[in-house]
């Protein structure tokens, strides 16, 4: 499969069978069955646990990590690699299961990620600023009027009211 885009580079990392047109779709397991039921056929094969990643500094405009970070040995290292590869003003988009979601305890998940790691005043990644964030509310979470209240309620009381979360971050350097 060839879907390469010379410029601006957009990386769909850990794409599985979610192939995006106009993006460089990258995964390490070609030929396997993906979550959508299609065979994984990435444009490029790379294990994201192997750093440094093969793309040059400041070479990408966007990076998508959709349900990927929780599978990596060191998600913080992966985010630092994404910051390196993204050009100034580039956008990093992350989607991950919420820690109270039962699926976050799957055996192939190495670490639970929480949206607060990105929303609390840039304490972990000062090069990134939040552009937007959201949670996918389920069950009791749907009854609450806002994502922020759902996040607080689920964290405070250990409720399963959020299925997943997403955040879009911009590189500030």
Provide the residue ranges of all domains of the chain, joining segments of one domain with +.
Answer: 48-137+164-171
Query: What is the spatial distance between Cα 110 and Cα 117, in angstroms, rounded to a whole number?
Result: 16
> May I ask the CATH architecture of the domain 48-137+164-171?
3-Layer(aba) Sandwich (3.40)
pLDDT for residue 153: 86
Paired sense of beta strands 9-13 and 24-27, if any: parallel
**Which residues in the chain show pLDDT less than 50?**
none
Q: Which residues contact 9 (CB under 8 A, 6 or more apart)?
A: 24, 55, 59, 60, 61
pLDDT in tens, 84-112: 999 999 999 999 888 877 777 677 767 77
Q: What's the CA gap between 152 and 1, in Å, rounded?
A: 44
CB count, 10 Å around CB of 158? 10
Tell me the pTM. 0.86
């Amino acid at each position: 499969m060839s879907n390469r885009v010379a410029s601006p580079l957009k990386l769909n990392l850990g794409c599985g069978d979610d192939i995006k047109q106009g993006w460089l779709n990258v995964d390490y397991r070609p030929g396997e069955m993906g979550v959508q039921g299609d065979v994984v056929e990435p444009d490029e094969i790379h294990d994201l646990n192997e750093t440094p990643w093969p793309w040059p500094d400041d070479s990408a405009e966007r990076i998508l990590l959709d349900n990927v970070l929780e599978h990596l040995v060191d998600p913080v290292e992966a985010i630092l690699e994404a910051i390196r590869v993204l050009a100034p003003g580039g956008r990093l988009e992350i989607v991950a299961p919420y820690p109270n979601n039962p699926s976050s305890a799957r055996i192939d998940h190495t670490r639970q990620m929480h949206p607060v790691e990105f929303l609390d005043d840039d304490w972990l990644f000062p090069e990134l600023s939040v552009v937007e964030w959201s949670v996918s509310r389920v069950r009791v979470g749907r009854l609450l009027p806002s994502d922020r209240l759902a996040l607080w309620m689920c964290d405070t009381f250990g409720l399963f009211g959020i299925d997943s979360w997403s955040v879009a971050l911009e590189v500030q350097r």
